[in-house]
Structure 1
Amino acid sequence: MEKLLQHTDAIMRYCQNCKQLADFEADSMRVEATVFNLMQIGELAKTSLSDETKEQITAIP
């Protein structure tokens, strides 16, 4: 669970100065770093979250 939080914190840091979507999109390195961390969260979620938690989060397949 700690790794999930670390990746989430990284994304928040990368995006803290973005006031609009255009600000985010203008920086390809920021976009790539964010996508990488989102992928890591997805991979970790498969093994880190309990079955009960996965059942409660119905919006994400």
Structure 2
Amino acid sequence: ITLVVKCVSKKHPDLNWEQSFMNFADFPASQPLSAVQEALISDICDRIAQDVVNKTLSTW
């Protein structure tokens, strides 16, 4: 899953940034994707959200 984020500061335009955040998850081949897909997507989205927060806070 890839998410492109553009962060714009009207007060501090020098802090503007745009970045792609990507993450993935492996699962056992013995399990069908349909059995694990929802949990995998949730986990991947949580990790991407944390990456976005970390990037945003790193410029403060």
TM-score, length of structure 2 as denominator length: 0.40
Name the structure where helix makes up a greater proportion of residues.
1
* Higher radius of gyration, 1 or 2: 2
TM-score, length of structure 1 as denominator length: 0.39
